[in-house]
Amino acid sequence: MKRRTLLTTAALALGLAASGQAMAQGMDKVKACFIYVGPIGDGGWTFQHHQGVMAVQETFGDKVEIQYQESVPEGADAERVMTQMALGGCNIVFATSFGYMDQINAVAAKFPDVKFEHATGYKRDHANVSTFNARFYEGRAVEGLIAGRMTKSNKIGYIASFPIPEVVMGINAYYLAAKKVNPAVEVSVVWAFTWFDPAKEADAAKALIEQGVDVIASHTDSTAPLAEAAKSGGKVIGFGQASDMAEYKPSPRVTSIIDNWGPYYIERIGALLDGTYAQADIWAGIKGGEVLIGEITEAVPAEVKAEAEALRDGIAAGTVHPFTGPINKQDGSAWLAEGQTAPDGDLLGMNFYVEGVTGDIPQ
């Protein structure tokens, strides 16, 4: 993916001036626009973003005009759609996938008086670009604990989307939590190289099941992995991803990571309305309610459920960190010393597996 765009000094000055004026005055009405990487009906990532958008509409009523476009590929199409949104009078544009990062910064340079918000990105090249993310790895740790306790084969699996830090840290958190409660556990990773493609996701789940995996986590957007697990007749369990995926309860879906975007969207659009909006870089998790752990079903033994809930609550309280040393990197070199917790910078740039995870990260 391209990594760099430039903004002229004149455009930056114009953007700052426009931003200052808007913030001093506030706004009577906001046109908020959203670009989705998948369809609303994916049952996962995009569905959950759209739930947040509906919460915005319910909160602000006719003070907010909503526009969105589904299934926009990451790349040139995204830049075109965001440009059209800016030209169409959008005051704020939310881009809801990592791969929109270069495109959103390129468009922001051309429209300094429009606010741009990028989900899961890290580049804020311009004064009118903000980033927001969730600590999904915290939920992965809860899943990993359940996986480590409930696997009968000692083989757990992970369907990965793209080799970016967010996904790699999820794999590592899942494995470390499983390993902590079950030293015999092994993790297999299948890279699907897609955010949303039910056929590819199903194939990835089948491949893991054929390897003897009996617990599957996924970092892709559809319910296809759970549908494959359901065919096992109770031998394979899994987790809801991004949304609750409650239609697969009580098994194979035994719990879920739920992305709760509504409060953030309401806060940011409300700030535009009342004149308090400012550039931001937000990374919140279980503590703030951005990452929710769905109902742990009766398919999970009571003692395992209690243990998972204690881990969730410890993370929320700040007394537990999923990445606490001693932890080595895959090659055996030291990463975190005894009792040391991972700095956010290490996590946000994570490009290595921890010791015990086999295979290579695709380049």
**Alpha carbons 102 and 285: distance in angstroms, whole number:** 25
**Alpha carbons 167 and 169: distance in angstroms, whole number:** 6
List CB contacts of 198: < 8 A, sequence separation 6 or more. Answer: 222, 223, 224
Q: Is the pLDDT of residue 182 over 90?
A: yes
pTM as predicted: 0.89
Note the pLDDT tens digit of each residue in 124-150. 999 999 999 999 999 999 999 999 999
CA dihedral 257, 43, 215, 230 (to 10 degrees): 140
Radius of gyration of the chain (CA): 21
Q: Is the pLDDT of residue 154 over 70?
A: yes
Q: How far is CA 270 from CA 62, 238, 265, 329, in A?
A: 13, 37, 8, 43
**Alpha carbons 162 and 207: distance in angstroms, whole number:** 17
Query: Is residue 362 within 8 Å of 160, Cβ to Cβ?
Result: no
Which helix (DSSP H) or strand (DSSP E) does residue 207 occupy?
helix 198-210
The domains of the chain, with CATH numbers, are: 9-134+261-284 (3.40.50.2300), 136-251+290-348 (3.40.50.2300)
Q: Report the pLDDT averaged over residues 304-333.
A: 98
Q: What pLDDT is attached to residue 2? A: 29
**Cα three-residue angle 98-335-352, rounded to 5 degrees:** 35
Q: Is the pLDDT of residue 13 over 60?
A: no
Q: Is the pLDDT of residue 6 over 90?
A: no
**Alpha carbons 282 and 133: distance in angstroms, whole number:** 6
* Average pLDDT of the chain to the nearest whole number: 93
Q: Is the pLDDT of residue 101 over 60?
A: yes
Q: Is the pLDDT of residue 359 over 80?
A: yes
Q: What pLDDT is attached to residue 26? A: 87
